Amino acid sequence: MERAVGIDFGTTNSAVAVADRDGARLARFASARGPTSVFRSILFFHPDDRERSGRLVPSAGPEALDRWLETAGGGRLMQSLKSFLSSRLFTSTNVFGTNLSLETLIGHLLRALRTGAERDLGDLGRRVVVGRPVRFVGGDEGDEALALERLRRAFGAVGFTDVQFEYEPVAAAWHYERGLDHDELLLIGDFGGGTSDFCLLRVGPGVRRKRDGEAELLGTEGVGLAGDAFDGRIVRHVVAPELGQGGEFRSVFGRVLPVPSWIYKHLERWHHLVFLRAPDTLHLLHQLRKEALDPAPLEALLHVVDYDLGFALHRAVEATKHDLSDAELARFGFADGPIEIEAPVVRGDFEAWIAPEVRAIEGCIDRLLASARIGAGEVDRVFLTGGSSLVPAVRRVFEARFGAAKLRGGAELTSVASGLALRAAA
């Protein structure tokens, strides 16, 4: 008999769970910092980590982070691979002389995820329920089909030949309702690294009896932004100005021109830092440094690119964002080589920076309620999950519409995996 397995393959973090009559159990993964149920969705390649044949052998998850730290940031670290699933432009990348497709990269990550989970949970079998966002990042309907097919192939390559997809917020509803003894009209908000997804559904024992074990899904909505976009705003306003954004250079014709702003767009999403490593772009950066009126910031930017410091830089950004969830003032700090950035960040400023994203989330909620023809007052509970659900400006969106008393949360990084396993067991 096949086990009930759920896998939440996330932009930033992933998790695995199995379920039986007693509920869901999360896999625990070994790491240098102790066992964890959160598997960071990262790959690390080092030019020395190869098989005898010369084939590159990547590390993934907690092991990738440990290996990256061991090598003092040497090698190449990759994150947010899920964000490229719907992109027809990203088909492959060259890693130390080896061309690797997106499906191959994700397959490496999923293989390590499966192997690590099976050390704790035993054989996972061939059947799995996999989470998917309501809207893939940057995708239209055709791109969504591409994203799902890429995911299906990647999971198939690691032994999961029977793959079912479930919306991530619907999975979170399975997690939420497992202890309910009454029916509710529930709104779920799932805030990942790359997408914010929402669903409205009726849940509870009475609903499932009437619908043969299924909740009553009234509608879904989503938008291709979440935690990564919030991080990007901190980079834009705090980090990028210290790395040359807003600076000027003197062209070969003697004109004083601004440093191109598009360079810093790539800095806002650290998994886009690879685009700054392209030969033509690197050449441009070196030329800009030579011609800059103040070359020091561009020297610092080149240090970030040359030493692949995107992950370390964004860890500092994430820490600042998390601190702002608990305090009105946080301090951003990052130092490496010629880079030394130390700056206060006020929560009010941060909320002004992310206001466009918050408005997009508000629009999603309004469209969801309107399409389902449900008034905010009719919603019994709101369950928020995912790391960015803790951002005060995000929570205020839901408090204003539904009232703070209706908000629930918890298991922000693992509720989707738990719900996917429960869905698989139903």
Dig out the tokens for 120 from the structure.
Answer: 């704790």
pLDDT at 140: 58
Count Cβ atoms below 10 Å from residue 32 Cβ, excluding itself.
11
pLDDT at 21: 82
pLDDT at 32: 79
β-pairing verdict for 216-223 and 248-250: unpaired
pLDDT at 142: 63
The DSSP output letter for 292 is B
Ordered DSSP codes for 21-85: TTEEEE--B--TT--BS-EE-EEEE-TT-B-TT--B--EEHHHHHHHHHHTTT-SEEEE-GGGGT
Give mean pLDDT in consecutive 10-residue pieces for the chain, a chain of 426 residues. Answer: 92 94 92 89 94 93 87 82 89 90 95 97 97 80 86 96 95 89 94 90 87 83 89 96 96 92 90 82 95 96 90 92 96 95 97 96 96 96 91 96 93 90 92
- Please give the CATH topology (third level) of the domain spanning 4-167: Nucleotidyltransferase; domain 5 (3.30.420)
Residue pair 231/345 in contact by the 8 Å Cβ criterion: no
The Cα-based distances of 339 to 42, 303, 304, 320, 342 in angstroms read 25, 8, 9, 18, 10
pLDDT at 370: 97
**Residue 398, burial from CB neighbour count under 10 angstroms (0-12, 13-18, 19+):** buried
Taking alpha carbons only, the member of 114, 64, 106 closest to residue 83 is 106
pLDDT at 241: 97
